[in-house]
Structure 1
Amino acid sequence: MTTARPDLDPELRELMADMPLMSRLSRETLAQVRPFSSMPVEPLLEGRAIHRREVTVPSPDGVPIPLSVFSPAHADRTPAAPCVYWMHGGGMIMGDRFSQIDIPLEWLDEFGAVVVSVDYRLAPEATGTVPVDDCYQGLLWIAGHAAELGIDPARIIVAGASAGGGLAAGVALLARDLGTPAIAAQILIGPMLDHRNTTTSSGQYANGPGVWTREMNEFGWSCLLGDLTDDEIPAYVSPALADDLSGLPATYIDTGSAEVFRDEDTDYASRLWAAGGQAELHVWAGGFHGFDALYPRARISATARRTRTDWLARVLLTIPADSHRTTPPKS
């Protein structure tokens, strides 16, 4: 029997008609797909007054973690800028620090934000807590180099899409539990939060339609979790497992009504509210997973991206800017 499910937005359905889709992944096909999971960053930077810097920070096991730092060129650093720390999507198994980077670069244009993007290690080569630990180390580096980066340490926002949204949520939990560093807000875009795949929306979008199916999600999680048993999976890896969602920063969550992650994302927002937290949730009718990144000019995508930016503008207004002049980034 076919499971009833929300239909796709008509414009998105038309745009997707000519796009080749796959509903399953394997370790063999992963090697073929990975090269196409990111786009070069240079075309996005062309014509923009952006200073780019590449750095590496050591992971807990000593492996270098690449970070890209994008700052407004020739910007006056009084007051110090907000910072968006970006974690890319790709199901934990593909993508790199330039994947979906056009999203936070819009906030560089809009707010003069410094954008830092992290190349966390991917599964199945890296499993368990390695990706979220990599991301947390990048966050510690940002906080420790705030003056050098020209950012206000009180206005650090963690953000990510899909797997990156799940990692951003895990990083926020880590920072809360370890007591450092301070995070002003988290932006979770279609976040991958729950390894269990037991929700109604997970069942509705088995075998598609869309770019991320239940089967692909199960494969991504199996690659990340490796040999971990259910009792060994920490909430920093699968944030939906967290018993306590209190004490987390202001949160923005958006998802599509026509995607696997819809129900785990809406549940996470509900649990944030139940814990006394502040969260804004948007479920875009007819949106499939990653619709606004794949088709940014579609009407629903433009609305989703603008709404996200408007929320960030409101949040930044509630945080007094540090008026201290800081040193501009080094070349």
Structure 2
Amino acid sequence: MRAGLMRDLLVAMLGLLVLLALPLVFPHPSLRDFLIYVIAYGLLAMSLNLLVGLTGLVSFGHAAYFASGAYVFGLLMQSGAVSVPLAMLAAVGGTALLALVIGAICVRLKEIYFSFITLAFQMFIHSIILTWVDLTGGDQGLRGGIPRPPFLGIDLGEAHTLYAFAAVIFVLCLLAMRQVWQSPFGYTLRMIRDNPARANFLGVDVVRMKLGIFVLAGGVASMAGIIMALFVSGAFPEFGFWTTSGEAIFMIMLGGTQVFLGPVLGAFLLQLLNHYVTIYTHHHGLVLGVVILLIVLGLRRGVADFAANWLAERRAAAPPAPAAPEPAKTKAAG
């Protein structure tokens, strides 16, 4: 595991350098904005894949934690009583507590019942956002913007600094999820996904394990919401609507569930499609639906999963390398 951690740290550093270098090589502001969208929604999709791909729990209400992180962070910053780091910690902690309460009910249910009760909780939270106008601003969202006071010499009011901050948070969250993915806890979740009855027979507390990953996924989703709130300087009811959860599921379907970074690829593809489709047609929903349908029916898995399986099949079908000839033995002189 130590060797794997060192490899992951090296890959994370290289990935961060690439993210930081892209706006310098291509300085147009639209690229920076596009990448922040990919970072926020890619983090949302990655957190959802902890449930879908790793544990086999399909949640239709994951956007509730995305919205919770955005609103709690935005309200704390508007109060002017806390700094950005403290508001982030409070938002993640509060969202994790919310996920603990909801998850304690949801993880006891199976398959479609789990999916629909998560959707029910999301719609409940969305209705609170709409009706508690004095606190949340109702359907107008948080009004007045979100202050970004400097902290530790970091000024998030500057666009390049905000992007670099989002990139660092993104890479750190990916690194943390990667360790969960490769840990004994992660392999226990895979066993629960594949055969929960056998896992229970072996002494695994299935409900407790599911609840743990549910809370972790909610906390990471709240961090994605914080990044989006910082970027748009607000929080809006759409963050907690069912369509946002649907977009996260689309990202997973596009990218794949079994390759670790598959959901990030799916987020990139979906944002790219949204960008170009909305330029050329108003029927973006129809076009996106056709693209997803073609991928599901044609590849029968996400793009990253398809590529990984194709490479594995190529390696398996490749003929083994010929063995090196043994050196000829010389007779000893008699």
Shorter chain as denominator, the TM-score bin is under 0.3
**Which structure dedicates a bigger proportion of its chain to helix?**
2
Q: TM-score, normalization: structure 2?
A: 0.22
Q: With the length of structure 1 as denominator, give the TM-score of the two structures.
A: 0.22
Q: Report the structure number with the largest CA radius of gyration.
A: 2
